[in-house]
Amino acid sequence: MTVSTAQMRFWSPEVRELEPYVPGEQPKIQNLLKLNTNENPYPPSPKVVEAVQAVLHEQADALRLYPDPDATALKQAIAKQQNIDVSQVFVGNGSDEVLAHIFKAFFLQDEPILYPDITYSFYPVYSQFFGTKTKEIPLNESFEIDVRDYTQPNGGVIITNPNAPTSIALSLAEIEQVLQANPDRVVVIDEAYVDFGAESAVSLINRYENLVVCQTTSKSRSLAGLRVGFAIAQSHLIAALEAVKNSFNSYPIDRFAIAAAVASFEDQAYFEEQCQKVITSREKLVRDLTELGFNVLPSKANFIFATHSQHDAGQLAQKLR
């Protein structure tokens, strides 16, 4: 939509300067092999479908009522699956909303927050929106995050692990180096793709009071259409997120999404089976592309980062459309 300068006089000055995030294209054509937003090619658990149908057919009258503002059943399901306390779980309307609350709750500091220069492109959008000071840290020549770069003075750290779009993952030992170097700042590990082969930092939660782990049900649990994300941290950090959430939207997750996500966490066998299928197909794709002369970075995500010395990436992408 084109808006004239005259029409923009009604806008807040800050909004006029915003450079919004551009979401991945959602083609209207059906039956495409869609790769651009890293969605899961497999459907959610049949138990998820049953749970959604149960809300519609058995609890339809409850749709006139607001959902549980705390999404207690969902927090309990996540806590059980992750072997943590319910007080260590925060849930939101997709991990993007959770991340926005994280920026508001922890990153409005005097010093800049640190994140890689090649990473999830929503981070600079959040930073501009909230007025967060930032410093982008270059990846090394191998497209890797060098954790030694995150020991400098800062207002917080956020790292996607595995990183997007490079697909490379840090080890838990490397994450601990960042945590230990920043004891008085919040370190956020964004684990949108962690279930496809990387090590989750959730196991470090009880040892580090400055750690927040953010995850989503969109990728590994095939629930991108329902928008459920969550954060895991010690309870004092969760309390800050709850304060932000309840100052913005007290009912972020609807009844269908709560029921579906709970069912997904309760069907661990299906979840693990689908993740393994993605990993297996990823490794086959890596082998096939390598044989065709591509250089493929070591992936721990449900996507790969590849280059070819004799073919332009933009032209290849256009031919795949």
User: What does the pLDDT look like over 138-185, one tens digit per residue?
Assistant: 999 999 999 999 999 999 999 999 999 999 999 999 999 999 999 999
How far, in Å, are 22, 89, 251, 262 from residue 255 at the CA level? 28, 18, 10, 11
pLDDT confidence bin for 318, thresholds 50/70/90? confident
What pLDDT score was predicted for residue 195? 98
Looking up tokens 């030694």 gives: 148
- The string of pLDDT tens digits covering residues 177-196 is 999 999 999 999 999 999 99
Q: Does residue 156 lie in a domain region?
A: yes
Task: With respect to residue 20, please indicate whether it lies within any of the assigned structural domains.
Answer: no
Contacts of 67 by beta carbon, 8 Å cutoff, 6+ apart = 251, 253, 254, 255, 258
CA quadruple 189, 179, 234, 250: dihedral positive or negative?
A: negative
Looking up tokens 């009071």 gives 209
Backbone dihedral region for residue 186 (phi beyond 0: left; psi -120 to 50: alpha; all else: beta): beta
β-strands 134-137, 113-116 pairing: parallel
In this structure, is residue 185 part of a structural domain?
yes
Q: Is the pLDDT of residue 319 over 90?
A: no
- Tell me the C-alpha to C-alpha distance, in Å, between residue 193 and each of 32, 95, 161, 199, 302: 23, 12, 7, 10, 7
pTM over 0.85: yes
pLDDT in tens, 232-290: 999 999 999 999 999 999 999 999 999 999 999 999 999 999 999 999 999 999 999 99
- Integer-rounded Cα radius of gyration of the chain: 20
User: Average pLDDT of 103-109?
Assistant: 96
293 within some domain? no
Tokens of 211: 């750690």
> Which CATH number characterizes residue 114's domain?
3.40.640.10
CA distances 240 to 89, 149, 253, Å, are: 12, 27, 18
Overall number of domains in the chain: 1
33 in a domain, yes or no?
no
Residue 320 has a pLDDT of: 79
Amino acid letter, 209 = E
Distance CA 262, CA 232 (A): 16
State CA 299 to chain mean position distance: 17
Exposed/middle/buried for 168, CB within 10 Å: 0-12, 13-18, 19+?
buried
Residue 308 lies in a domain: no
The residue segments making up the domain with residue 104 are 46-267
User: What is the pLDDT confidence band of residue 297, given thresholds at 50, 70 and 90?
Assistant: very high
Give the closest residue to 238 by CA, choosing from 102, 90, 98, 106. 90
Domain assignment present for 4: no
Instruction: Please report whether residue 235 resides in a domain.
Output: yes
Separation of alpha carbons 220 and 286, rounded Å: 19
